[in-house]
Each structure stands twice: as C-alpha cells, then as structure tokens.
Structure 1
Amino acid sequence: MKEKYKYLLVCEGPTDITFLKHLINKLGADLGKSVEVVELAPQRDATTGTWPAHGWTEVRSWCKSWKIKTQDDLSKIQNHFIELAKRRNWKALVATSGADGLIIQMDTDIAEQISDLPIKFTESDEERRNYCQSAIYFWIGESDEVADKPFLLLPSFSMETWLLATHAPEVNVFDDLAKPFNYEEIIDLEQRLVSIGYSYKTKKGIKKLAKKESEYIGYADRVHANFIDVATRCKEANHLQSFLIEKLI
C-alpha cells in the first residue's frame, strides 16, 4: 500500500473545505497515511483571495457539467464536439489530476428544494440522505451499483452536526429533547451551538454561526479529538471513517 493519497473535493462552501481538509488529514494520519484534499469547487480567487458565492445549487451545476455523458446527451451535441464532450467527465478529471478519487459533500437540509428528480422529496419514501444521494448520482450520471463512483459525504442536517455531536447528551442544551435522541435529526443545531458558546453573527435578528475559516480549523480539531463519540452519534461521520479505512489500509 502507498503512503500518500490525494482526493479532489466538491462541496458547498469555504468553511466546509477548511473543515474537511483538516479533519481528513488528521484521520489519515491516524491510519499512518498522508491524505491531501484538493478543492475543485468552490475555488478561492487567486487575485483577490476571496471565495465565490457557492452552495448546493453550485454543487449541482458542477456535477451536471462534469457528468458521465449518456447517448442522449451526446445526440444533442454537434459531431465535431462529441469526442471532447466524452472526455469531459469527472473520472477523466480525477485521472488527469493524479488523484485517488472524488469526494462530493452536500448538506441534506436542502432535500425539499431539489426539483429535478422524477419524485420530490416530500412525496418520496426515501430518507433525507438517500434522496440527496440519488440526486447527486442523477446529476453526475452515475449509480450506486458501480464500483468506481464518487464518495458522497451527506451530513444531516449539516456539517456542523458533527460539532454538536462532540457534546454529550447530558449537556443542558439538550434538556428539551427526549432521551435518547438522534443528533442527525436536530434541526436547530446552529442555535444550540450558539447557546453553548460558539462564535456567531446576527442576521435578520437570527443568531447564526460565524463562518470564519480559522474557527473551522478549531472545530475540525475538536471533532477529531472526539471522533469516537462523533462517529457513534452520526452515521455520516462513521461513513467517512469506513471509507478512509477501506481506501487507506
């Protein structure tokens, strides 16, 4: 087995990039490996140092742009562009980057907003995560059955759920919840984190977590230090752990 690995990352925003790059690097080190995570989208502007507006709709756009083209897709393209279109896909991008795979992260709190699948989330019987997984496979032209597919990281309701899961159920911020409870079903997680004492900004009268990259490095450190608890309390964290063990060992 080799010692160094490289994964490309598509995710919702810059704090997700900061958090995941730092956390995955530390989890890889725990397994005795070096793991480099390179962001594909969003990307920081090299001139201004700023990040573009980016969210789940940009994740969808990226997936559709780099999807595996079907015959129906190719039939809509002029003949002299077909070979180029065939080569423009996420697998070719991974190969030319010398990467070991692609990670796509998207929070599942937006399931109700997805409108381009045959059945809407509110009309389906699928769990929130599974519905978002189906959506991404649809956008990128893949299926769960194929072995060579992107690794999907789909936390419920958001990446910050893992930070909340570093706090034991006995903490008073959870006093209003019937025990036992599922961390991944807590909707007002940002408000609870603010109540615990995490940095926040007030937007339209609502306290929201401050999206500072430096703080998200600290959040990743906290999640890593408590990862046994986090992976026990959050299925998606355990999903990431299983993926790294499978690929690195």
Structure 2
Amino acid sequence: MTTLSAENIDSVDAEMSDTVLEDKSEGFFELVLSEGRPMDDLVMDEGQLASTVQKLLLLSVFGLGFYGVVVGLAAQTSTLGTWFTAGTPTLWMPLAFSGAFLAAIGICLPSFYFYTQLAGLDASFRLITAQSLRVQARTSVVLLGVLPFYTALALGIGVGFDLGLGANGVVLVGMWLPFAVGLVGIAALYRSFKRLVERLPITHERRGNIMLRLVLCWGAVFSTVAPVALWRLGEFLGTVI
C-alpha cells in the first residue's frame, strides 16, 4: 500500500491544475469571448502567463488584420482622398490596424501599471500586459463577429443599395468601428478587475468605486493614443505601399 506524503499530494494537485489549464487552453477562442473566471485563472497563473500573452497577441493580430483587409477593400472604392485611401489600402490597412493598436498598448502599458498600483492593486507588469491584451483580443473577436454585417453594408453600397452613407461613409464607419466595439472590451476589463481584486494583494485601501475609475483611466489613455497611432502609421504606410 502506497502512502501519500504532503509532497506527493502537492505534486498531484499541481498536475491536476496544469491539466485543467491545458484543457482551458484548447478552447482559447471561446475563453476570450466568454470571459469569466477560467480566463482569470490563465492570466493569474505565472507558469502559463507567457503562453497566454502569446495567444492573446496572435488572436489580436489576426482579428485586427482580417478586419483591416475588409476595410481596405472598402477604401479602394472611396473618393475621399484622405490618408486612409492613399496607396493600396487593402495591403497596408491590416498592418496599420494591428500595428497601431498593439503599439498603443505598448505605449500605454507604463500608465496602465501606474494607475493599477495607484488603485491599490499589487499587480505585476506581466499581469497588466496580459490584461491589456485580453481586452484587445476580446475586441478583435467581437470585430470578427461584426465583420459580416459591415461586409454586407459595403457590398450593398457597391450594388446601389444606398443607406445615405455612400462608399465614403462606409469607410469612415470602418475606421471608427473598432473604437466603438472597444467599449465591449472596456466593460469586460471592468468585470475582470472586479473579480481579480479578490485575488490580488491590496497595497492600500481606496474609497469609492476605485475599479470603475481605474478602468476609465485605462480607457481614456488608450482612446487618446490609439487614434493618433492609427493615423500616423496609416499615413506612413499609405505612402510606401
């Protein structure tokens, strides 16, 4: 008869935890879309955090890039004559969307970390990175869900079914749609922080709804940086591609 020591029990618990996390990783797309505690477990697990960040990054790039292709196709027929119709938008717009939004996250990360610490949450920089990419990945997934409707709108305009937007209006909608859909990601960020506050060390107590103020600060900083990044990067790519 085998006797289980405390070390063996801890080893079994660790193996079971790893198995659960691996099972969760298999449905990563569904995890990002559904949100909830399973996703919290992934971003809180230091052993899985690097892999989780990579998956969130790839999902963000895929969603933004695919969306950029469709908006670029719509921009090809536009007569606006602005920076987002220059060059060959179908080729450079996927790079602009994915590059600008991810660059904006990189620029904002120190501010995200500062605001989180100011709110009294002792979160590591890696966790803040995962949280920000988590929001972007969710936004990218929702964009993929909205994309068929946007495509139908663009095709309808192309065959003469005008809703008062015209080809130029469709492009403008496409440029601003990621920011509107981003509100879904902000709401998910608030809910996730409300859950994580029960698991993260608290450095100092803060009064009021500090989580709401924290998320609003995140959103305000990102909403300031991302449009400028998209404009400058898109303007540059439009001259070379």
The answer to whether the superposition gives a TM-score over 0.5 is: no
**Structure ranking higher in helix proportion:** 2
State the TM-score, normalized to the length of structure 1.
0.24
TM-score calculated relative to the size of structure 2: 0.24
> Which one has more relative contact order, counting CA pairs under 8 Å at least 6 apart?
2
The structure number with the bigger radius of gyration is 2
